[in-house]
Every structure is written in C-alpha cells, then in structure tokens.
A and B are shown apart, each in its own frame.
Chain A
Amino acid sequence: MYQAEISRANPGCFLFLLDQSGSMSDSFGGAQTGRTKADELATIINRLLQTLVIKCSKDEGVRNYFDVGVIGYGARVGPTLGGSLEGRVLVPISHVAESPLRVEDRIQKITDGIGGLVEQPVKFPVWFDPVADDGTPMCQALRMAHAELSSWVDQHPDSFPPIIFNITDGEATDGDPSEDAARLRQLSTRDGDALLFNIHLSSRSGKPLEFVDSEEELPDEFAVRLFRMSSVLPPHLRDAASSEGYQVSDSARGFVFNADAAAVIQFLDIGTRPANLR
C-alpha cells in the first residue's frame, strides 16, 4: 500500500484547499510576527507548488508526474489558479510550472562554507497573493474536493492515492467538517485511501509542530478538530519522514501546526534522491 510507482503513466495527485476567509487576516503565530495568516498561507502554497514543480523538472521540461489542483474557500468556493488555468481544478503539473502569476527576483542568504553568509539571487515564483474575505465554508470545499477526486480515482485506479492539503486556521463557518473529511478519506485507488493532511495556521504563538501524534499538545479546539480529520501517515511515508530526520511515531498524522509541509512532497519517491542532496 502507498507504494505505487509515480510515473507519467500513473501520475500522483495533489489537491490544495486554501482558507481565504476573513479570519485569515488576523495575525499569524502571535502579534510579533508582523504577518497575517493569509500571508503565511500564500507563502506555504507558493512554496508547495514550487517544490512540486522543481521535483518534476528534468532537462527537457517538467514531467507530468502529478496532477495538481487548488480550491479556495472564503467569499466563494472554487478553483483559484489564475491566468490560463482559471476555472480549472486539476491540471498536470507542467501547466502549473508554465503559469505563475509572476516570477520575482529575490535575494537569499546561503552559507559560504567557511562560516559566513553570501547573498545569492534566486527566482521566486508566485501563484497566489494573500486573500482574506468573508466566512469559512470548509465543508463546501471538502465536498467539492470529493466530487473532483471521485472522478480522478476512477480514471487512475493504479495510481498512488490522492493527497489533499487543507491549509486553514480551522474555524469552519458552514458546519462541522469532520464527516465531509471522513468521506474524502474514503476515496481510494488500488494502492490505498486518499490522504488528508491539515496545515493549521494559528494566531497563537505556539511552537511549530510537525506530524503530530497526540491531541494533548494541541492548543485549542480548532487544532484538535483538524488533527482528528487528518490521515495517519502510512508506513512508507512515515519511514521516509524518519529518514529525513523527522521524529514520527506509528500514530503520527499528516497534521502540522504553524509549520509548512513542503517536506511531505519530498517524501514521495519519483526516482533516486541522493543522501547528500539537502
């Protein structure tokens, strides 16, 4: 289970659900960060998409190892990729690679290998800018995800199961999302059930938590609810997380608190990853 080869013939699938509600305009991680939860979400989704695109990038272009979709929920619920991808939910990853809103030139600091830092120009693609407006129709978003992925799993019965990332501050306004989440996790391919991972962004200043295995250390009811909605990491992904240095127990779930989850994408094998690639 969860070991199907990810290939162009049998691509994987990532579906991102983005909370774009008004409450996301609150500060992130304590007032001192100077960032809103919407700012943090935009950074996380841009980094997730960049990670996926680069993972699939080869000499001749981007190989369609994954289908990718983004559904935003706030003032409206629907696909939120822009430009030429507007209105489409799941698209091959190469289409995402070709369609950032813009590519910014930024400066990053990297070590010079002798104890110092040097500035290096780096390209930073942007697909999303921060948005925060209206309520949080998370149930509706989960149902839309279910509808979209139902047909995907029918079309890809031999593929690695779809992975859904729900990035939110957890305060659903259209009901209890637990049942819709459970129905989503019941979708499956021959390789296993769909995996629902929740990235919880909080205004609290709690320390970042990754791949949590217990409710006890969670700070509030929203975090607990999202934790309970999250899939347990399957053994193969858990082993990959361990070998990357994460402390994961057998009951670790795909739930992170005030942290990003780009690492999950790295856990998926589409080829040889050298140990000295960091």
Chain B
Amino acid sequence: MSGPRVEEYWLPKRGSTKEEYEDAIRVNKRGLRFAVADGASESSFAGLWARLLVESFAQGRLCRRSPSTFPRDVSPLRRQWQQEIRGRSLPWYAELKAAAGAFAAFVGLKVRRSRKAWWAIAVGDCCLFLIRQGRLERAFPIESVEGFPSRPFLLHSLSTSGVDKQLIHITEGDWQPGDTFLLMSDALATYFLTALASSQTPDSLLSFDRTPQGFISWITDLRDDHLIRNDDVSLVIVSYAPAAT
C-alpha cells in the first residue's frame, strides 16, 4: 500500500517576519511521524524550543519507543536548549528573559502502516483532528472550542523535576483508507472547531487551494474577516487514499 499524501502549511503572525515565526513543523514521511509545536510568544527562544521538539519527535528520539517515554526523552532536549542559549552573548534583558526558559505546546502523531493503528501525544493546545467520511471523528486533546484555556500549561525548556505527567495527553486509535489526520497550532484549531460547531464541514474548511499561496490567501481572508486570532498558523495534512472500489 502506498503511503499517505502529506502536506505542510505555515504562516507567521500578521506583523511578524518569517524569521519571527515561533511555531515549528516536522514530518517524517518514511517513519510516519508528524509533529507541530507552538512556542509561547511571551517566552524567549521559544521558536528554538519548538524546533527541537518537532525535530526530535520526527526523527524518533522523542517518544523513542512509545509515548510513555516522553518525560525521559525530553531531558536531553532541555540540555540542548540550555547549551544553545549558554553559548550566546546576551544583553542583560535577554539573559534575564532566557533564565525563565521557553515554553511550547506540542502535538505528535505516529501512524503504524501495517497494523492500521496510530497514537498521538500532546501538551498544551496544539491539536490533532481525525476526519473520516467527511466528519470529525476525533479531536485531541481539546474537543470543543470551550476547551481552549486562555493560559495553557505548556512544556518548559527548563526544569529539574521532570515533566508533570498531568500536562501530557496520550491517545490512540485505528485508521482506515480515506482517513485524514490534521495537526495544527491553536489559532487555526480554535477556528476549525468554531466553524465545525456552526455546521461547516471539514471538507469545506479544507477546500482552500492546496498550495502555499492558496493557504496564505485563505488565512489572510480569515484574518481580514476577524475569524481567526492573529497568531502564527501551522497545519499538517496527512491523508490516506480511499479504498479502491
């Protein structure tokens, strides 16, 4: 069976440059590992933290064997973030800000080709949606727009006490031909769930011109209409072809 079609889209917050984008996306089509992270904009070097998380997950170092190893696998990433920062000469304010560490939300998906199973892990408000036969089959870890906290608990780049297990959400399921997985950061996820709650369908929401420019046009229109919060936007679409009839 051929693998899924994988698409990646991203756009920085309006008013920010692409260098200032603090989400991160990594896909590993061969290993069927996909991740989106969202660096908290009020922390510094958050984009770096987000990139370390998704890179490590996509390459199989984070959640090496299963989602249960997440707390242990995060430790070397923390050390790597701290080493990167320590190596820089920073003005007093950047030193004080960096001392507080960086925060990020994260969602990672691993699909198993042969067993038609998948598992996912999330911290904070990046989301995974499973679309099946034109309907939202699963929403993880947040199931409705009311579930988005104004101040989410996120993954910290500094900690001597491990990862609070209460922050980590894990789920699993089966997939079928025709299924589509969506991973996205919170601004788009909030819009998505709001639109579905007002009777729009997943297919209509994904009917934008599936090119980078098409994505930019779609998000720009949403921002102009004040339908989406002004924030970095990241989207991964993993779609399996329907069964041949």
Chain A residues engaging chain B, CB cutoff 8 angstroms: 5, 7-9, 50, 53-55, 57-62, 97-98, 100, 103, 113, 122-123, 125, 243, 270-277
Contacts and interface: CB of A to CB of B under 8 A. Distances in A.
Given A55-B42, A274-B43, A123 B152 contact: no
Contacts of A97: 91, 93
A277 B92 contact: no
Q: Chain B at the A interface: mostly helix, strand, loop or mixed? A: loop
A123 B150 contact: no
Given A272-B41, A274-B153, A277-B103, 7 more contacts: A53-B93, A57-B97, A59-B48, A103-B92, A273-B40, A274-B124, A274-B156
Nearest to B40: A272
Given A5-B230, A243-B150, A271-B41, A276 B92 contact: no
12 contacts: A5-B230, A7-B15, A50-B96, A59-B45, A60-B19, A61-B91, A123-B92, A123-B96, A125-B93, A272-B42, A274-B153, A274-B154
B47 to A, nearest CB: 7
B40 A275 contact: no
Q: Which 9 A-B pairs have the closest CB atoms?
A: A271-B41, A274-B154, A275-B151, A274-B103, A57-B97, A272-B40, A123-B92, A271-B42, A57-B93
Q: Which one of B42, B150, B151 has the greatest number of beta carbons of chain A within 10 Å?
A: B42
Interface string B20-62: 1000000000000000001011111101100000000000000
Nearest to A54: B97
Contact of A276 (B91, B95, B153, B160): B153
Interface string B124-144: 100000000000000000000
Contacts of B151: 243, 272-275
Contacts of B92: 100, 103, 123, 125
B153 A57 contact: no
B180 to A, nearest CB: 27
Contact of B47 (A53, A59, A272): A59
Contacts of A57: 44, 93-94, 96-97
Given A7-B15, A272-B152, A274-B154, A123 B95 contact: yes
Contacts of B43: 274, 277
Contacts of B149: 275
B100 interface: yes
A50 B151 CA distance: 23
Interface residues of B, number: 36
Listed residue (B15, B151, B156) with the most chain A CB atoms within 10 angstroms of its CB: B151
A54 B44 CA distance: 9
A54 B95 CA distance: 9
A127 to B, nearest CB: 12
Contacts of B45: 59
Contacts of A54: 93, 96-97
Given A5-B230, A59-B47, A277 B42 contact: yes
A277 B157 CA distance: 11
Contacts of A55: 42
A113 B19 CA distance: 36
Nearest to B154: A274
Contacts of A273: 40, 42, 151
A56 B164 CA distance: 28
B161 interface: yes
Nearest to A56: B93
A125 B141 CA distance: 42
A97 B19 CA distance: 22
B103 A59 contact: no
A270 B15 contact: no
Contacts of A123: 92, 95-96
A256 B90 CA distance: 35
Contacts of B41: 270-272
A275 B103 CA distance: 10
Contacts of B40: 271-274, 277
A172 to B, nearest CB: 35
A9 B13 CA distance: 13
Contact of A274 (B44, B48, B152, B230): B152
Contacts of A270: 41-42
A268 to B, nearest CB: 10
A122 B96 contact: yes
B234 to A, nearest CB: 14
Contacts of A59: 44-45, 47-48, 94
Contacts of A113: 160-161
A7 B154 CA distance: 23
Interface in B202-231: 230-231
